[in-house]
A and B are shown apart, each in its own frame.
Chain A
């Protein structure tokens, strides 16, 4: 098998054989298969190539460290701002979970901060996004992943958009009913924000109404109280948190609830991205 020019492995059978020009398509679980495959590949490396790989690895590691340092510096901009920056939320959350066996199972569309700031070393620490960018995916998909994590005792966290949350909020009842521990943070930017951005871009391109992109894309008047919604489904809910200095204590309380085996929702009023 290792003599093949290209190997493509993916759990989603619908992607099998599509688009990739490879010698061998395998439908399989990368998490289960990769450790064996990696060991096979290591055994096939001669000394000359090993030295080249080591040198390349050192360069990549240095570049990664520089990227993380830049991300940390970027994260300080607007640190004390309200609405809370997404960078602060991600930094505060990671600071409290990094020593746990954590698993990030969902993020709001376009939220890039965790992958810039956090150290992902295990396959289950990130399970991807909706394939088609579908709105409404994050809450139910996160709960499915939380169910899978439950028997391993992992600390499951997700950060989902408020617009996304509006589609299947009854997922919270399922979480309460089956006692599935998960910290669900509502990235509350009070909008279907991806739509807002596209509308604004198109309005600017066509030279019209660039100040009207909030029509039909924002969630205000009235504002939604997501913590109360959660409580209505029997889930611990707290928020809206808009004071950045109140964020860390609120995260601590919610994480304690999750570690006790229960789902928890934290509504954080955050900047858009």
Chain B
């Protein structure tokens, strides 16, 4: 991935803000990068991404709410920049432990995960 001219810290901050206000996002399937979904899923589980963001990419909590990543809205270049200089307690993943190729595969896998359903079809949700 070419991210050479990206000012990483600034990008990470902007991306964090984008995630914070993201909430339910529209499908970005048309923008999904070509990537190896099988390898992306393997890494998402093996590298522990699911520990905070959930196996279904549903989000969760660490010391604060961790965002849902299913149908991720970030473009792949921004996603990689974010991983390299992650804010707060989100681990930063250097290229030594996670290559750009592997990160792009994770991004492709996240893009493939189903997003929210219509709550009207789920009685226990309606009953909240």
Contacts and interface: CB of A to CB of B under 8 A. Distances in A.
Interface in A47-96: 68, 70, 72-79, 81, 83, 85-88, 91-92, 94-95
A77 B57 contact: yes
A112 B92 contact: no
A25 interface: no
A44 interface: no
B59 interface: yes
A120 B118 CA distance: 25
B123 interface: yes
A154 interface: no
A272 B70 contact: no
A72 B56 contact: no
Interface string B43-86: 00011101110111111111101101010000000000000000
A200 B62 CA distance: 12
Contacts of B58: 74-75, 77-78, 81, 85, 87, 271
A194 to B, nearest CB: 8
A77 B114 contact: yes
A22 interface: no
A260 interface: no
A213 B93 CA distance: 14
A111 interface: yes
B70 A77 contact: yes
A118 B128 CA distance: 6
Interface in B97-122: 97-98, 114-119, 122
Contacts, number: 134
Contacts of A88: 124
Interface residues of A, number: 45
B5 interface: no
Contacts of A79: 117, 122
Contact of A74 (B55, B68, B93): B68
A204 interface: yes
A253 interface: no
26 contacts: A68-B128, A72-B119, A72-B128, A73-B119, A74-B23, A76-B116, A76-B118, A76-B122, A77-B54, A77-B56, A77-B68, A78-B56, A81-B55, A81-B56, A86-B60, A88-B124, A91-B125, A110-B63, A112-B60, A197-B62, A208-B97, A210-B93, A271-B50, A271-B56, A272-B50, A273-B66
Interface of A: 68, 70, 72-79, 81, 83, 85-88, 91-92, 94-95, 98, 110-112, 117-119, 193, 196-197, 200-205, 207-208, 210-211, 213, 248, 271-273
Q: Sort A-B residue pairs by CB-CB distance and give the 10 closest, nearest first.
A: A78-B56, A273-B60, A204-B91, A77-B58, A95-B124, A76-B117, A95-B127, A78-B58, A110-B61, A201-B91
